[in-house]
Structure 1
Amino acid sequence: MDLAIALGLTRESVCRIEGARALPSEASIEGLMRLFDLDWPQLAIVGRSKRRPRAFPDTWRDELRIALGSALRAGRRAEGLTLRDLATCTGVSYSQLSRLERGECDVSRVLAEHPADRDVPRHMRRLQFTHPVLKRVAGKGWTLI
Protein backbone atom coordinates (compact mmCIF):
# COMPACT_ATOMS: atom_id res chain seq x y z
CA MET A 1 0.00 0.00 0.00
CA ASP A 2 2.91 2.36 0.72
CA LEU A 3 4.16 1.94 -2.86
CA ALA A 4 0.73 2.82 -4.23
CA ILE A 5 0.58 5.94 -2.07
CA ALA A 6 4.12 6.98 -3.03
CA LEU A 7 3.24 6.67 -6.73
CA GLY A 8 -0.21 8.24 -6.39
CA LEU A 9 -1.91 5.05 -7.60
CA THR A 10 -4.56 2.77 -6.21
CA ARG A 11 -3.57 -0.55 -4.67
CA GLU A 12 -5.46 -2.28 -7.47
CA SER A 13 -3.45 -0.46 -10.14
CA VAL A 14 -0.17 -1.52 -8.53
CA CYS A 15 -1.42 -5.12 -8.35
CA ARG A 16 -2.32 -5.07 -12.06
CA ILE A 17 1.12 -3.69 -12.95
CA GLU A 18 2.89 -6.24 -10.72
CA GLY A 19 0.81 -9.06 -12.20
CA ALA A 20 1.61 -7.96 -15.78
CA ARG A 21 -2.08 -7.27 -16.43
CA ALA A 22 -1.39 -3.56 -17.06
CA LEU A 23 1.51 -1.41 -18.17
CA PRO A 24 2.66 1.45 -15.96
CA SER A 25 2.28 4.99 -17.25
CA GLU A 26 5.32 7.12 -17.95
CA ALA A 27 4.68 9.01 -14.71
CA SER A 28 4.57 5.72 -12.77
CA ILE A 29 7.84 4.55 -14.32
CA GLU A 30 9.50 7.87 -13.48
CA GLY A 31 8.11 7.66 -9.94
CA LEU A 32 9.51 4.14 -9.49
CA MET A 33 12.87 5.27 -10.85
CA ARG A 34 12.99 8.15 -8.34
CA LEU A 35 11.75 5.99 -5.47
CA PHE A 36 14.31 3.23 -6.04
CA ASP A 37 17.08 5.51 -7.38
CA LEU A 38 17.24 3.73 -10.76
CA ASP A 39 18.57 4.84 -14.13
CA TRP A 40 17.42 3.65 -17.55
CA PRO A 41 20.31 1.18 -18.06
CA GLN A 42 19.22 -0.57 -14.86
CA LEU A 43 15.60 -0.68 -15.98
CA ALA A 44 15.64 -1.48 -19.68
CA ILE A 45 17.83 -2.82 -22.45
CA VAL A 46 18.19 -1.43 -25.94
CA GLY A 47 15.81 -3.25 -28.24
CA ARG A 48 15.94 -4.04 -31.92
CA SER A 49 12.66 -2.40 -32.83
CA LYS A 50 12.65 0.02 -35.73
CA ARG A 51 9.91 1.94 -34.00
CA ARG A 52 10.86 5.32 -32.60
CA PRO A 53 11.07 5.24 -28.78
CA ARG A 54 8.45 7.13 -26.84
CA ALA A 55 9.78 10.40 -25.55
CA PHE A 56 9.27 11.40 -21.96
CA PRO A 57 7.97 14.91 -21.53
CA ASP A 58 10.79 17.35 -21.02
CA THR A 59 9.07 20.61 -21.91
CA TRP A 60 5.82 22.27 -20.98
CA ARG A 61 4.59 21.69 -24.54
CA ASP A 62 5.28 17.93 -24.28
CA GLU A 63 3.28 17.78 -21.06
CA LEU A 64 0.43 19.72 -22.67
CA ARG A 65 0.39 17.41 -25.70
CA ILE A 66 0.20 14.37 -23.40
CA ALA A 67 -2.55 16.03 -21.31
CA LEU A 68 -4.53 16.81 -24.48
CA GLY A 69 -4.21 13.19 -25.55
CA SER A 70 -5.30 11.98 -22.11
CA ALA A 71 -8.31 14.31 -22.22
CA LEU A 72 -9.23 12.99 -25.67
CA ARG A 73 -9.02 9.38 -24.44
CA ALA A 74 -11.02 10.11 -21.28
CA GLY A 75 -13.71 11.97 -23.25
CA ARG A 76 -13.90 9.22 -25.88
CA ARG A 77 -14.31 6.55 -23.23
CA ALA A 78 -16.90 8.65 -21.38
CA GLU A 79 -18.96 8.79 -24.57
CA GLY A 80 -18.57 5.03 -25.02
CA LEU A 81 -16.66 5.39 -28.29
CA THR A 82 -13.88 3.16 -29.59
CA LEU A 83 -10.99 4.61 -31.56
CA ARG A 84 -12.57 3.17 -34.69
CA ASP A 85 -15.90 4.87 -33.88
CA LEU A 86 -14.14 8.20 -33.40
CA ALA A 87 -12.18 7.68 -36.62
CA THR A 88 -15.45 7.15 -38.50
CA CYS A 89 -16.99 10.30 -36.97
CA THR A 90 -14.00 12.53 -37.69
CA GLY A 91 -12.38 11.15 -40.83
CA VAL A 92 -9.09 10.95 -38.93
CA SER A 93 -7.38 7.57 -39.16
CA TYR A 94 -7.48 5.13 -36.27
CA SER A 95 -3.67 5.11 -36.04
CA GLN A 96 -3.45 8.93 -36.02
CA LEU A 97 -6.03 9.12 -33.22
CA SER A 98 -4.06 6.53 -31.27
CA ARG A 99 -0.87 8.61 -31.64
CA LEU A 100 -2.78 11.74 -30.55
CA GLU A 101 -4.10 9.96 -27.44
CA ARG A 102 -0.59 8.79 -26.52
CA GLY A 103 0.77 12.34 -26.94
CA GLU A 104 3.14 11.24 -29.70
CA CYS A 105 1.91 13.64 -32.36
CA ASP A 106 3.09 17.26 -32.35
CA VAL A 107 2.01 18.20 -35.87
CA SER A 108 -1.32 17.18 -37.33
CA ARG A 109 -4.12 18.63 -39.40
CA VAL A 110 -6.36 18.30 -36.32
CA LEU A 111 -3.87 19.67 -33.77
CA ALA A 112 -2.66 23.26 -34.04
CA GLU A 113 -1.03 25.99 -32.03
CA HIS A 114 -3.35 28.48 -30.41
CA PRO A 115 -3.65 31.54 -32.71
CA ALA A 116 -3.08 33.98 -29.82
CA ASP A 117 0.39 32.50 -29.20
CA ARG A 118 2.11 33.67 -32.39
CA ASP A 119 4.58 35.86 -30.47
CA VAL A 120 5.31 33.21 -27.84
CA PRO A 121 8.40 30.96 -28.21
CA ARG A 122 7.38 27.72 -29.94
CA HIS A 123 8.07 25.45 -26.95
CA MET A 124 5.63 27.54 -24.87
CA ARG A 125 2.75 27.75 -27.38
CA ARG A 126 -0.54 26.18 -26.38
CA LEU A 127 -2.01 23.41 -28.51
CA GLN A 128 -5.65 22.82 -29.38
CA PHE A 129 -7.71 20.48 -31.51
CA THR A 130 -9.01 22.09 -34.68
CA HIS A 131 -11.58 19.41 -35.49
CA PRO A 132 -14.89 20.28 -33.79
CA VAL A 133 -15.68 16.69 -32.75
CA LEU A 134 -12.22 16.15 -31.23
CA LYS A 135 -12.46 19.52 -29.48
CA ARG A 136 -15.83 18.55 -27.97
CA VAL A 137 -14.74 15.04 -26.93
CA ALA A 138 -11.47 16.29 -25.40
CA GLY A 139 -13.40 19.04 -23.60
CA LYS A 140 -15.45 16.35 -21.86
CA GLY A 141 -12.23 14.54 -20.98
CA TRP A 142 -10.65 17.52 -19.17
CA THR A 143 -13.12 17.09 -16.34
CA LEU A 144 -12.29 13.38 -16.03
CA ILE A 145 -8.47 13.42 -15.91
Structure 2
Amino acid sequence: MGEPIAPKVFAVQVGIGRVALSRIENGQAWPRSETLKRMMAIFELDWAQVAEVGPNAGPHPLMPDTPQDGQQVYLCESLRWGRRRLGWTLAELARRSGVSASQLSRIERGQVARSAVFTWHPEDGNIVREDRRIVFGNLLLAAIAGGNYVAPHSDLGDDR
Protein backbone atom coordinates (compact mmCIF):
# COMPACT_ATOMS: atom_id res chain seq x y z
CA MET A 1 0.00 0.00 0.00
CA GLY A 2 2.91 2.38 0.26
CA GLU A 3 3.98 4.91 2.87
CA PRO A 4 1.76 5.65 5.88
CA ILE A 5 -0.47 8.69 5.47
CA ALA A 6 -0.59 11.31 8.23
CA PRO A 7 -4.13 11.67 9.63
CA LYS A 8 -4.36 15.34 8.66
CA VAL A 9 -3.30 14.56 5.07
CA PHE A 10 -5.66 11.59 4.91
CA ALA A 11 -8.59 13.69 6.14
CA VAL A 12 -7.91 16.25 3.39
CA GLN A 13 -7.65 13.51 0.75
CA VAL A 14 -10.96 12.03 1.89
CA GLY A 15 -12.62 15.44 2.05
CA ILE A 16 -13.46 15.54 5.76
CA GLY A 17 -12.10 17.40 8.75
CA ARG A 18 -9.54 15.95 11.16
CA VAL A 19 -12.12 15.93 13.99
CA ALA A 20 -14.56 13.95 11.82
CA LEU A 21 -11.82 11.47 10.97
CA SER A 22 -10.95 11.09 14.65
CA ARG A 23 -14.61 10.43 15.51
CA ILE A 24 -14.79 7.75 12.79
CA GLU A 25 -11.54 6.17 13.98
CA ASN A 26 -12.81 6.03 17.56
CA GLY A 27 -16.22 4.57 16.66
CA GLN A 28 -18.08 7.74 17.66
CA ALA A 29 -19.37 8.37 14.12
CA TRP A 30 -20.06 6.45 10.94
CA PRO A 31 -18.68 7.72 7.64
CA ARG A 32 -21.16 8.63 4.95
CA SER A 33 -21.13 6.20 2.04
CA GLU A 34 -19.27 8.67 -0.20
CA THR A 35 -16.62 9.16 2.49
CA LEU A 36 -16.20 5.43 2.98
CA LYS A 37 -15.84 4.89 -0.77
CA ARG A 38 -13.11 7.58 -0.93
CA MET A 39 -11.32 5.94 2.00
CA MET A 40 -11.51 2.57 0.29
CA ALA A 41 -10.14 4.03 -2.97
CA ILE A 42 -7.16 5.60 -1.19
CA PHE A 43 -6.26 2.26 0.39
CA GLU A 44 -7.21 0.32 -2.76
CA LEU A 45 -9.75 -1.81 -0.88
CA ASP A 46 -12.86 -3.48 -2.24
CA TRP A 47 -16.04 -4.38 -0.37
CA ALA A 48 -14.92 -7.96 0.32
CA GLN A 49 -12.01 -6.52 2.34
CA VAL A 50 -14.21 -4.06 4.26
CA ALA A 51 -17.46 -5.87 5.03
CA GLU A 52 -18.92 -9.32 5.36
CA VAL A 53 -22.08 -10.37 3.55
CA GLY A 54 -24.92 -10.67 6.02
CA PRO A 55 -28.33 -9.33 6.90
CA ASN A 56 -28.62 -5.58 6.57
CA ALA A 57 -29.36 -4.83 10.20
CA GLY A 58 -27.44 -1.55 10.12
CA PRO A 59 -25.12 -0.28 12.82
CA HIS A 60 -25.95 -1.20 16.40
CA PRO A 61 -27.57 1.47 18.55
CA LEU A 62 -25.81 2.73 21.62
CA MET A 63 -26.49 0.59 24.67
CA PRO A 64 -27.98 2.40 27.66
CA ASP A 65 -25.59 2.94 30.57
CA THR A 66 -27.68 5.38 32.59
CA PRO A 67 -31.42 5.86 33.14
CA GLN A 68 -31.24 8.85 30.78
CA ASP A 69 -29.68 6.65 28.08
CA GLY A 70 -32.60 4.24 28.44
CA GLN A 71 -35.06 7.12 28.19
CA GLN A 72 -33.25 8.38 25.10
CA VAL A 73 -33.41 4.96 23.42
CA TYR A 74 -37.14 4.80 24.18
CA LEU A 75 -37.68 8.30 22.73
CA CYS A 76 -35.74 7.36 19.59
CA GLU A 77 -37.79 4.22 19.02
CA SER A 78 -41.03 6.07 19.76
CA LEU A 79 -40.15 8.73 17.20
CA ARG A 80 -39.51 6.11 14.52
CA TRP A 81 -42.81 4.33 15.19
CA GLY A 82 -44.72 7.60 15.37
CA ARG A 83 -43.28 8.82 12.08
CA ARG A 84 -44.13 5.54 10.39
CA ARG A 85 -47.65 5.65 11.83
CA LEU A 86 -48.09 9.02 10.16
CA GLY A 87 -46.75 7.60 6.88
CA TRP A 88 -44.01 10.24 6.72
CA THR A 89 -40.56 9.78 5.25
CA LEU A 90 -37.50 11.07 7.06
CA ALA A 91 -37.37 13.88 4.48
CA GLU A 92 -40.96 14.88 5.31
CA LEU A 93 -40.26 14.89 9.06
CA ALA A 94 -37.09 16.89 8.42
CA ARG A 95 -39.01 19.48 6.42
CA ARG A 96 -41.64 19.85 9.13
CA SER A 97 -39.34 19.73 12.18
CA GLY A 98 -36.31 21.65 10.98
CA VAL A 99 -33.99 18.77 11.94
CA SER A 100 -31.92 17.28 9.10
CA ALA A 101 -32.98 13.92 7.68
CA SER A 102 -29.52 12.47 8.38
CA GLN A 103 -29.72 13.55 12.04
CA LEU A 104 -33.25 12.16 12.32
CA SER A 105 -32.05 8.86 10.87
CA ARG A 106 -29.30 8.63 13.50
CA ILE A 107 -31.78 9.58 16.22
CA GLU A 108 -34.31 6.94 15.16
CA ARG A 109 -31.58 4.29 15.13
CA GLY A 110 -30.42 5.34 18.62
CA GLN A 111 -26.99 6.31 17.33
CA VAL A 112 -26.64 9.69 19.00
CA ALA A 113 -24.85 9.91 22.30
CA ARG A 114 -26.13 13.43 22.82
CA SER A 115 -27.98 15.76 20.51
CA ALA A 116 -29.37 19.26 20.72
CA VAL A 117 -32.86 17.84 20.04
CA PHE A 118 -32.84 16.32 23.54
CA THR A 119 -33.28 18.40 26.66
CA TRP A 120 -34.17 17.96 30.31
CA HIS A 121 -37.84 17.72 31.23
CA PRO A 122 -38.94 21.27 32.18
CA GLU A 123 -40.22 20.12 35.61
CA ASP A 124 -36.86 18.56 36.55
CA GLY A 125 -34.77 21.73 36.91
CA ASN A 126 -34.26 21.34 40.67
CA ILE A 127 -33.61 17.59 40.59
CA VAL A 128 -30.09 16.13 40.62
CA ARG A 129 -28.86 15.49 37.11
CA GLU A 130 -28.82 11.69 37.45
CA ASP A 131 -32.56 11.67 38.20
CA ARG A 132 -33.69 14.07 35.48
CA ARG A 133 -35.85 12.93 32.59
CA ILE A 134 -34.84 13.45 28.97
CA VAL A 135 -37.38 14.75 26.46
CA PHE A 136 -37.36 16.10 22.93
CA GLY A 137 -36.94 19.88 22.93
CA ASN A 138 -38.43 20.04 19.42
CA LEU A 139 -42.19 20.21 19.99
CA LEU A 140 -43.09 18.27 16.84
CA LEU A 141 -40.68 15.43 17.66
CA ALA A 142 -42.00 15.36 21.24
CA ALA A 143 -45.61 15.15 20.05
CA ILE A 144 -44.87 12.40 17.53
CA ALA A 145 -42.78 10.34 19.97
CA GLY A 146 -45.44 10.79 22.63
CA GLY A 147 -48.21 9.66 20.29
CA ASN A 148 -49.88 13.05 20.74
CA TYR A 149 -49.52 14.40 17.20
CA VAL A 150 -52.70 14.39 15.20
CA ALA A 151 -52.17 15.19 11.54
CA PRO A 152 -54.26 18.10 10.31
CA HIS A 153 -57.00 17.13 7.87
CA SER A 154 -54.92 18.46 4.94
CA ASP A 155 -52.16 15.96 5.84
CA LEU A 156 -54.49 13.00 5.49
CA GLY A 157 -55.32 13.43 1.82
CA ASP A 158 -53.50 14.14 -1.40
CA ASP A 159 -54.51 17.79 -1.51
CA ARG A 160 -51.05 19.19 -0.76
Q: TM-score range by the shorter chain?
A: 0.5 to 0.7
For 1:51, the equivalent position in structure 2 comes to none
**Hey, what's the Cα distance between the residues in 2 that align with 1:87 and 1:70?**
17
Q: Provide the rounded CA distance (Å) in 2 between the counterparts of 1:86 and 1:64.
A: 21
Structure 1 residues 121, 107: closer, same or farther in 2, change over 3 A?
farther
Aligned length: 95
Aligned to 1:106: 114
Say if 1:138 and 1:95 are closer, same or farther in 2 by CA, change over 3 A: same
Distance in 2 (CA, whole Å) between partners of 1:126 and 1:90 is 22
Identical counterparts, % of pairs: 39
Query: Does residue 92 of structure 2 align to residue 58 of structure 1?
Result: no
For residues 134 and 84 of structure 1, the distance between their equivalents in structure 2, rounded to whole angstroms, comes to 14
Report if the CA contact (8 A) 2:62-2:113 is conserved: no
Question: Is 2:30 aligned against 1:23?
Answer: no
Q: TM-score, normalised by structure 1?
A: 0.56
For structure 1, the 5+ residue unaligned runs are 1-18, 27-53
Runs (4 or more) in structure 1 with deviation over 3 Å come to 19-22
Cα-Cα RMSD? 2.5
* Bigger Rg, structure 1 or 2: 2
SS at 1:119 equivalent: coil
Q: Which runs of 5+ in 2 are unaligned?
A: 1-52, 149-160
**Which one of 78, 86, 98 corresponds to residue 71 of structure 1?**
78
Aligned partner (choices 125, 131, 143) of residue 138 of structure 2: 131
TM-score, normalised via structure 2 length: 0.51
